[in-house]
Amino acid sequence: MSVASLNGRDLLSMADLSADEIDALLELAADMKAGKVAPRCQSVKVLGLLFSKASTRTRVSFSVAMYQLGGQVLDLNASVTQVGRGEPTIDTARVLDRYLDVLAIRTFEQAELETFASYAKIPVINALTDLEHPCQVLADLQTVKEEFGALKGLTLTYIGDGNNMANSLLLGCALTGMNVRIACPSGYEPDRAVVDQAKTIAGEQSEVSILTDPEAAAKDAHVLYTDVWASMGQEEEATDRMKVFQPYQINEHILGMADSKAIVLHCLPAHRGEEITDSVMEGSQSRVWDEAENRMHAQKALLASVLGVGI
């Protein structure tokens, strides 16, 4: 794959990528991180960040990645644009399409992202919706590959809420030949259509399992993964969710069920003492900070590819 192989493409879902494209993006990200290659924009390219939800890692990592490619960034905060006053998505999309070279959107509904992409010709990237978080999963896969050298045949266990992270991990693991187990309380499972899609992608090459027993899910896993129990927009449910999710904490006991060389990941921000204990997050098997750093490298590779930036 050349750097330009995704030139002009959107990334709305992990399923928008093939297994070979994921491999190539991870290879490029690793080479960038190691300083082996340094793609640069031949002319000034501008990335727009249209975020309706709070962000630390996504906002900063996208910005730094674009600057390192020689481009510029516009922060299109809804509170200071007409988006915050109700301008229709289709109008905003067609206007920004004429100003920007690429746009990353963080919003609630996946449908809004898809509508935006259908009216804009420039590449549109999912920087998080309630359904998926594909850019995070690219960084997750990069982190796992750094640790184990390859992805195929490994088992990743996600313990917690069947949210956007669970959905994108299902697809990302299935595409790369990893076994994926999601352990969550009954009624909090990942999106049914995404589960079916992941199982179809996995076929005979890997296993996709939805479980309610966190211990069974963690057994011999190579990667343990978790996220907050109440995502953005679910704050009013937090108290009730705390009661339901107590057995789904990644702690020393659950870590002991996993493979002896297992690593622990968390997409952050973390609520220490809730979905993950402080001792595990700060322990020798945690790769949380490498994972956070890799957001920048994975997204830089993605930006270079969708913009057709050469080496």
Task: Encode pLDDT of 234-271 as tens digits.
Answer: 766 778 889 999 999 999 999 999 999 999 999 999 99
Which listed residue (57, 110, 130, 133) is catalytic? Answer: 133
Which listed residue (110, 136, 142, 249) is catalytic? Answer: 136
Known catalytic residue at 106: yes
**pLDDT at residue 83 above 80?**
no
Question: What is the residue type of 4?
Answer: A
Alpha carbon separation from 173 to 48, 195, 210 (Å, rounded): 29, 12, 14
Q: Where are the alpha helices (DSSP H) in 151-287?
A: 164-175, 192-202, 214-218, 238-245, 252-257, 278-281
Question: With bands split at pLDDT 50, 70 and 90, how would you rate the model's confidence at 79?
Answer: confident
**pTM (two decimals):** 0.96
Known catalytic residue at 267: yes
CA 289 to chain CA mean position, Å: 15
Q: What is the gyration radius of the CA atoms in the chain, in angstroms?
A: 19
Task: Encode pLDDT of 279-307 as tens digits.
Answer: 999 999 999 999 999 999 999 999 999 99
Cis peptide before 185 (omega within 30 of 0): no
Known catalytic residue at 227: yes
Known catalytic residue at 259: no
Q: Which domains does the chain have, with CATH numbers?
A: 3-132+295-307 (3.40.50.1370), 136-291 (3.40.50.1370)
Known catalytic residue at 135: no
Which listed residue (267, 287, 297, 299) is catalytic? Answer: 267
Which listed residue (59, 181, 295, 297) is catalytic? Answer: 295
C-alpha 237/C-alpha 150 separation (Å) is 39
* Mean pLDDT, rounded, of the chain: 95
Task: Encode pLDDT of 215-231 as tens digits.
Answer: 999 999 999 999 999 87
**pLDDT at residue 205 above 90?**
yes
Question: With bands split at pLDDT 50, 70 and 90, how would you rate the model's confidence at 19?
Answer: very high
